[in-house]
């Protein structure tokens, strides 16, 4: 039982830097020291769980900065390190702690010499003085105070102030997600780095164009690729299982897409993927060739391996579906390749869409398919719930498209949505990622899914001809 519980947690040793990097908070043990240690659940938000546990167990509020990877740290021991900046003390630690000058430390000062290596590397990155030497804007000491000062300046004209409460949910040297409380509405600060750097200009453009469908952007920090928004009232769709909020989300998605019909060029210029029928057609042959290579590398059976002849047929079927879709005349609109219920906030009065790194311009019905897939996982394969969700979505499009075009788009979407999702990403073109078994297996699975959808589409068409 103990082993099972340990496997569900990860142990972190916390480097808490204070005094502008001149001190580190340690646990004294006889004549030497140890870093503070916490265990947090796996597969959760590390920054959120780690800062909450440090606050509960050690009575310290900290800001996550970076994970040092100095030689000799972590790996076989299963222990990870997190460098943090001390923010304030607000409780009693479970064991006595002591602020120790960094200048007084040596490898022999610590029970585990790896701790000294991790501290040294953290300091080297966190107190870097030139932009070229910084690990990222959120790795250096003082960034959180700079954020708070900036936010105060933004919200001062509105007459409210930060109240000191905050949650750091995501943290890397170039990514940040923080919820900040005020004596008015709560605020969210988000910043992105590679490979999602384009989320910043996309979000800025989409929020400006469609303010009723995204959180209100109060200000932006281009030097951090960050933006500040007001918190949106409502619940994340992933937190509800009732059908009605899902139906409102589908209707809201359709309204957003209809509003975007004339704005494709601007959204593409901001960095959205171009998944129109012409770009999709150009992806078919190279994608199928790459999948043929991945299928030939498969070593476990089952699942099914598609041979080159089968993949050639699949490519033809995808091309025929793309041609049929183009003939329907459905306008290409804003879409979301990562349209999962964790990215949708629903309330009785509005539906808000988040996290636009995976935005595209292309057929709107692809996004409906992604939403349907998550509905099946959340509520189960209940055909009645699916039918109502589709009806809610299509009711909006009936004001724009004839019934035959809607029906045709719905029939083609299950196949083409999978192809757009698989081929529209960059993973299948990345040689390094294709060497990862998980990535290769995932792409093979998507290709098998495409093949099943192509078979079902052919079967439905055959029945219609009888």
Regarding whether 100 and 215 lie in a shared domain, the answer is no
Residue 448, φ and ψ in degrees, nearest 5: -65, -35
DSSP type of residue 196:
S
> Which residues in the chain show pLDDT less than 50?
1-6, 72-75
Q: Looking at 328-368, which runs of residues are DSSP E strands?
A: 333-336, 344-346, 351-353, 359-362
Residue 138 falls inside a structural domain = no
Regarding whether 301 and 172 lie in a shared domain, the answer is no
The total number of structural domains that make up the chain: 3
Cβ contacts of 398 within 8 Å, gap of 6 or more: 406
Regarding whether 343 and 276 lie in a shared domain, the answer is yes
The pLDDT value recorded for residue 379 is 85
pLDDT by residue (tens digit) across 253-290? Answer: 999 999 999 999 999 999 999 999 999 999 999 999 99
The pLDDT value recorded for residue 42 is 86
Lookup: tokens for 197: 């750097």
Global confidence as pTM: 0.91
- We report the CATH number of the domain holding residue 164 as 3.30.200.20
- We report the CATH number of the domain holding residue 333 as 3.90.1200.10
Domain interval for residue 262: 235-465
DSSP type of residue 443:
H
Which of 84, 111, 133 delimits the end of a domain? Answer: 133
CB count in 10 Å sphere of residue 271: 17
pLDDT by residue (tens digit) across 358-414? Answer: 999 999 999 999 999 999 998 887 789 999 999 999 999 999 999 999 999 999 999
The pLDDT value recorded for residue 463 is 62
SS3 36: strand
Lookup: tokens for 396: 């909006």
The pLDDT value recorded for residue 460 is 84
């Amino acid at each position: 039982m103990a082993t099972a519980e340990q496997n569900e947690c990860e142990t972190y040793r916390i480097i808490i830097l204070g005094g502008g990097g001149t001190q580190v908070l340690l646990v004294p043990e006889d004549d030497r020291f140890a870093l503070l240690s916490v265990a947090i659940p796996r597969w959760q938000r590390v920054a959120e769980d780690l800062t909450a546990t440090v606050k509960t167990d050690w009575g310290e509020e900290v800001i996550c900065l970076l994970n040092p990877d100095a030689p000799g740290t972590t790996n076989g021991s299963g222990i990870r390190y997190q460098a943090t900046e001390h923010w304030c003390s607000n409780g009693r630690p479970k064991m006595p702690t002591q602020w120790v000058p960094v200048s007084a430390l040596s490898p022999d000062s610590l029970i585990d010499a790896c701790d000294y290596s991790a501290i040294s590397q953290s300091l080297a990155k966190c107190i870097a003085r030139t932009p070229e030497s910084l690990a990222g804007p959120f790795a250096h000491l003082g960034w959180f105070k700079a954020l708070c000062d900036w936010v105060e300046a933004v919200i001062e004209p509105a007459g409210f102030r930060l109240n000191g409460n905050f949650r750091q949910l995501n943290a890397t040297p170039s990514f940040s997600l923080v919820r900040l409380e005020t004596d008015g509405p709560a605020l969210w600060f988000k910043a992105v780095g590679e490979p999602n750097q384009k989320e910043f200009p996309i979000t800025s453009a989409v929020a400006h164009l469609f303010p009723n469908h995204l959180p209100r952007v109060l200000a932006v920090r281009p030097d951090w690729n960050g933006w500040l928004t007001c918190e949106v009232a409502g619940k994340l769709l992933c937190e509800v299982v009732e059908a009605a909020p899902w139906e409102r989300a589908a209707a809201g998605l359709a309204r957003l897409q209809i509003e975007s019909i004339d704005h494709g060029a601007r959204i593409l210029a901001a960095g959205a993927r171009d998944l129109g029928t012409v770009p999709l057609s150009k992806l078919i042959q190279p994608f199928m060739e790459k999948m043929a290579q991945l299928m030939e590398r498969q070593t476990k059976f089952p699942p099914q391996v598609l041979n080159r002849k089968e993949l050639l047929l699949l490519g033809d079927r995808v091309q025929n579906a793309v041609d049929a879709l183009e003939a329907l005349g459905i306008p290409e609109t804003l879409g979301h390749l990562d349209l999962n219920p964790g990215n949708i906030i629903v309330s009785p009065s509005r539906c808000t869409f988040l996290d636009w790194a995976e935005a595209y311009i292309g057929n709107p019905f692809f996004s409906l398919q992604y939403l349907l897939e998550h509905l099946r996982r959340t509520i189960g394969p209940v055909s009645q719930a699916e039918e109502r969700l589709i009806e809610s979505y299509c009711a909006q499009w009936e004001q724009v498209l004839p019934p035959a075009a809607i029906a045709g788009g719905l029939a083609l979407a299950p196949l083409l949505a999978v192809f757009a999702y698989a081929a529209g990403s960059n993973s299948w073109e990345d040689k390094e990622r294709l060497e990862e078994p998980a990535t290769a297996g995932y792409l093979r699975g998507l290709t098998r899914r495409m093949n099943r959808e192509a078979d079902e589409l052919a079967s439905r068409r055959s029945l219609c001809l009888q």
